[in-house]
Amino acid sequence: MIVVRHERWAIALVSCILGFMVVTQYKMTQDNIEENIRLQR
């Protein structure tokens, strides 16, 4: 039971980290796109 719980916690932790990284990269990409549009104008 302890091993199963530990694995679930690990999976949940990895999922949160991956989700956070994706959101951060998405925001950074959006900012870069906006900056490029401003520079082009």
DSSP class of 18: H
Q: For the chain, give the percent of residues with pLDDT over 70.
A: 90
Across the chain, mean pLDDT equals: 89
The whole-model pTM stands at 0.58
- Please state, in angstroms and as integers, the Cα–Cα distance from residue 1 to each residue in 7, 9, 14, 15, following that order: 10, 12, 20, 21
Question: So what's the pLDDT on residue 2?
Answer: 62
